[in-house]
Amino acid sequence: MQQTDYIQFYEHNKMGIKTVDGEIIIPAIYDFVAHPSDGLFTVTEGNYTAYFDTTGNQVLPFSNKYESYGNFTEGLARVMTNDKWGFINLFGEEVIVPKFHYTDEFSNGRAIVRNEKDLHGAIDEQGKLVIDYQFPALTNFEKGYAAFGDLSTWGLIDKAGNIVVPQIYISIGRVYRNAVTVQVLEGEEYREGELTIGGAVKWNNNLDHLNETNRQKKKFVAACEQLIADLYATGCPCEHERFRNFIQWNNPVGFVDQELLFSVFIKQLHDQGNDLYQCAHCDTGYQQKWEQYSAFLWVLNVTIAKAGNFISKGAPVTPTIPIALGFYGYGIEKYNDKYVQNDIQTVIDYLKG
């Protein structure tokens, strides 16, 4: 069975494991049971840890010899004592003495280790440091290679620590058939291609849409800067009904036009603290709040917290509103009837109206 064939389940605040068909492998009498790794479940009860096989038999008995126990990978499990990490084998024997500041699990015969200076290297299955501490970031080895870098640019090393792909890419994927997908940033333009290890990069146009989006965002920001300058020259943006309507947003969907407009507008406002900003011309108060609606979705919500001292002017809000950059997130189709895709100048002219 694969890992996905097993389900963690709870009874009376205790955890167990059963198959997708409902067969109980490990009864729900333990504090925690991890998904299987190397065909073994890591089972924790209080300060004790044991390992069970996929038939529910105990392979290694409960023990608290170590302060922390990891999952088995490639026949070894990391353990920690006195804030140092080492490894035990499938017999529970300590085969790599706990002496490392930190170590990850084994993969491809290597385990990534980190020292007190937050530099990474790698050890072999005998615990020998085969790649010295030198990398600010280093991923687990896969198919003979690991990505190294500093979280802004990346390259690849082989299992001996030799650099096989230089650290010049902002993103580097997994190796497949001796090739890897890479991305670079040249000026303000992103490029993607397939790099053959030991060879050249075959570039593609996969990121052309991203570059065009970024160009449109930059153009929109410049247009917003001019718009806000023009509106302040004759009063302030707050006086305009369409502007006030456009800038306010309280929905679990990202509105790109509004976010960029407010990012420009906020530079002209006085920071009152607690994400409250005030217009110096009319004293209108704007409350900014970033809402997280999922693991990957943050949305800028803006409300008028205080009505300013102004006389509303400009054209009224129309039944349909032009947008240039659109929405992101989930359920954006609900806005299709009210917001109509158009060009940047049409949006700016609407807001001036």
Between CA 163 and CA 157 the distance in angstroms is 4
Is residue 220 a part of any domain in this protein?
yes
Give the pLDDT confidence score for residue 261 in this predicted structure: 98
* Whether residue 267 is found in the same domain as residue 312: yes
Give the pLDDT confidence score for residue 294 in this predicted structure: 84
Which of 167, 187, 206 is the last residue before a domain boundary? 206
**Residue-by-residue pLDDT tens, the chain, 353 positions:** 555 689 999 999 999 999 999 999 999 999 999 999 999 999 999 999 999 999 999 999 999 999 999 999 999 999 999 999 999 999 999 999 999 999 999 999 999 999 999 999 999 999 999 999 999 999 999 999 999 999 899 999 999 999 999 999 999 999 999 999 999 999 999 999 999 998 999 999 999 999 999 999 999 999 999 999 999 999 999 999 999 999 999 999 999 999 999 999 999 999 999 999 999 999 999 999 999 988 888 999 999 999 999 989 889 999 999 999 999 998 899 998 999 999 999 999 999 98
Q: CATH no. for residue 179? A: 2.40.128
Which of 177, 206, 235 is the last residue before a domain boundary? 206
**How many Å separate Cα 173 from the centre of its chain?**
15
* Whether residue 348 is found in the same domain as residue 306: yes
Range of the domain at 303: 209-352
The Cβ of residue 269 has, within 10 Å, a number of other Cβ atoms equal to 19
Helical spans, DSSP H, in the chain = 208-233, 241-247, 256-265, 344-352
Determine whether 158 is exposed, middle or buried from the number of CB atoms within 10 Å of its CB (0-12, 13-18, 19+). middle
Between CA 58 and CA 77 the distance in angstroms is 16
Q: Which conformational region is residue 165 in: left (phi greater than 0), alpha (psi within -120 to 50 degrees), or beta?
A: beta
In degrees, rounded to 5, the angle at the alpha carbon of residue 107 between the alpha carbons of residues 84 and 45 is: 55
Q: Which single residue is written with the structure tokens 């456009």?
A: 246
Give the pLDDT confidence score for residue 4 in this predicted structure: 64
Give the pLDDT confidence score for residue 1 in this predicted structure: 52
Give the pLDDT confidence score for residue 2 in this predicted structure: 54
80: nearest Cα among 47, 39, 45, 41: 47
* Whether residue 221 is found in the same domain as residue 347: yes
* Whether residue 234 is found in the same domain as residue 272: yes
Record the pTM.
0.75
Give the pLDDT confidence score for residue 151 in this predicted structure: 82
Q: Which conformational region is residue 13 in: left (phi greater than 0), alpha (psi within -120 to 50 degrees), or beta?
A: left
Give the pLDDT confidence score for residue 3 in this predicted structure: 57
| Count of structural domains within the chain | 2
8 Å CB contact between 283 and 309:
yes
Is residue 93 a part of any domain in this protein?
no
* Whether residue 232 is found in the same domain as residue 191: no
* Whether residue 227 is found in the same domain as residue 295: yes
Give the pLDDT confidence score for residue 296 in this predicted structure: 83
